[in-house]
């Protein structure tokens, strides 16, 4: 089984194939176990510094027809303390079936490995996080046979790191913070702090954090903001990283019409996420535009605009008539 020390993990391994925001929300704990110490501090659960962490199989299946899998399972061994299991689930919505499945995960893992087990649920919206805290009781009316009390990380308890200096002190936590607050109206400040911290960092993990966050943000306006910030960051161009190559190739390839439509949609999503009023005329102008350079300028202005009309200038009008 792969092992890593939370205090002295080596630089990233890149054969990972993280493919969704759901996977990124729990996979970061496998790749960066040093994140467990500040996270447990946030949750108010004592954990010694520099625990050793072992990734276990997420398969929790005993009888083949009853197929169950937990997202990630870690075996944590704090120095001088007893080992325990940490099952991690990324949860995007309420699910009534979790009352039984989460209880099963914990009971099965504790029986299989003969050690205590905890469940950590990672959420990206407050309502889901409030629900995920439980407790989830199994039994009959008037009697609880089992009760599950998950640890929950969500926008209500993960800190918003908007200071580049603070982000630089703990890049894993800063990345996780940005991922968790991807739907926050002030996400731009969080992303700017992280991109500045990465620009000042000498670690070879820049590519890992940049790609993991981009995937973790999913199909949200925050993802487009992040890509723009990474493209504009002074350290980024010319580094020859996979992130840069992918971004530039995406800009150069593909059909112009499709890219323009996608950028126009991102602008409207960003304005909606920031509750900026958009008139029918402004929305029509944005969706009708086919010039990618103009749309990119409008997207940059949409980050701070208080009204959709602030996106447009006389220069834009002149270009559209040429």
Reported as a single tens digit per residue, the pLDDT across 232-290 is: 654 444 444 445 455 445 445 445 667 788 788 888 888 887 888 888 888 899 988 88
Angstrom distance (rounded) from CA 63 to CA 283: 55
Q: What is the pLDDT of residue 256?
A: 62
Residue 271's region, left for phi above 0, alpha for psi from -120 to 50, else beta, is alpha
Q: What is the pLDDT of residue 57?
A: 59
User: How many CB atoms are closer than 10 A to CB 61?
Assistant: 12
Q: What is the pLDDT of residue 247?
A: 46
Q: What is the pLDDT along the chain (322 residues), one digit of tens a residue?
A: 444 444 433 333 433 445 578 888 888 888 888 888 888 888 888 777 777 888 875 554 443 333 456 788 889 888 888 899 998 888 888 988 887 888 888 988 899 899 999 999 999 889 999 999 989 888 888 898 888 999 999 999 999 999 989 998 999 999 999 999 998 888 999 999 998 888 877 766 778 888 888 888 888 888 889 888 877 654 444 444 445 455 445 445 445 667 788 788 888 888 887 888 888 888 899 988 888 888 888 988 888 888 889 898 765 554 444 4
* pTM, full prediction: 0.62
Q: And the tokens for 74?
A: 């870690």
Q: What is the pLDDT of residue 4?
A: 47
Position of tokens 């996080």? Answer: 129
Angstrom distance (rounded) from CA 316 to CA 318: 5
Q: And the tokens for 213?
A: 């966050």
Q: Which residues contact 100 (CB under 8 A, 6 or more apart)?
A: 138
pLDDT per position as a tens digit, 14-26: 334 455 788 888 8
Domain map (residue ranges) of the chain: 3-153, 164-252, 256-321
Q: And the tokens for 275?
A: 């509750």
User: For residue 196, what is the enclosing H or E element?
Assistant: helix 187-200
User: How many CB atoms are closer than 10 A to CB 125?
Assistant: 16
Measured distance between the N- and C-terminal CA atoms of the chain, rounded to whole angstroms: 63
The beta strands (E) that lie in the chain are given as 3-5, 52-56, 72-77, 84-90, 117-122, 136-140, 143-148, 151-153
């Amino acid at each position: 089984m792969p092992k890593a020390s939370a205090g002295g993990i080596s630089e990233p391994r890149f054969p990972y194939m993280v493919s969704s925001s759901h996977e990124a929300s729990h996979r970061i704990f496998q790749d960066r176990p040093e994140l467990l110490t500040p996270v447990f501090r946030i949750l108010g659960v004592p954990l010694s510094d520099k625990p050793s962490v072992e990734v276990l199989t997420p398969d929790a299946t005993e009888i083949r027809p009853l197929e169950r899998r937990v997202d990630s399972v870690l075996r944590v061994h704090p120095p001088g303390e007893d080992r325990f299991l940490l099952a991690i689930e990324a949860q995007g919505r309420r699910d009534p079936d979790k009352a039984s499945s989460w209880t099963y995960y914990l009971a099965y893992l504790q029986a299989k490995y003969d050690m205590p087990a905890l469940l950590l649920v990672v959420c990206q919206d407050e309502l889901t996080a409030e629900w995920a805290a439980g407790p989830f009781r199994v039994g009959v009316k008037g009697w609880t046979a089992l009760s599950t009390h998950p640890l929950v990380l969500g926008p209500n308890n993960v800190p918003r790191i908007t200071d580049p200096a603070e982000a630089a002190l703990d890049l894993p936590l800063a990345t996780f913070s940005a991922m968790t607050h991807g739907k926050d109206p002030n996400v731009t400040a969080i992303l700017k702090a992280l991109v500045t911290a990465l620009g000042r960092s000498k670690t070879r993990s820049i590519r890992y954090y940049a790609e993991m966050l981009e995937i973790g943000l999913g199909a949200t306006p925050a993802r487009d903001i992040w890509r723009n910030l990474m493209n504009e960051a002074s350290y980024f161009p010319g580094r020859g990283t996979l992130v840069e190559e992918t971004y530039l190739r995406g800009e150069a390839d593909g059909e112009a019409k499709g890219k323009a439509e996608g950028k126009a949609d991102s602008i409207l999503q960003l304005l909606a996420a920031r509750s900026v009023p958009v008139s029918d005329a402004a929305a029509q102008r944005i969706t009708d535009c086919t010039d990618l350079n103009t749309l990119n300028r409008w997207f940059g202005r949409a980050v701070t605009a208080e009204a959709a009309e602030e996106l447009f200038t006389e220069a834009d009008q002149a270009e559209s008539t040429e």
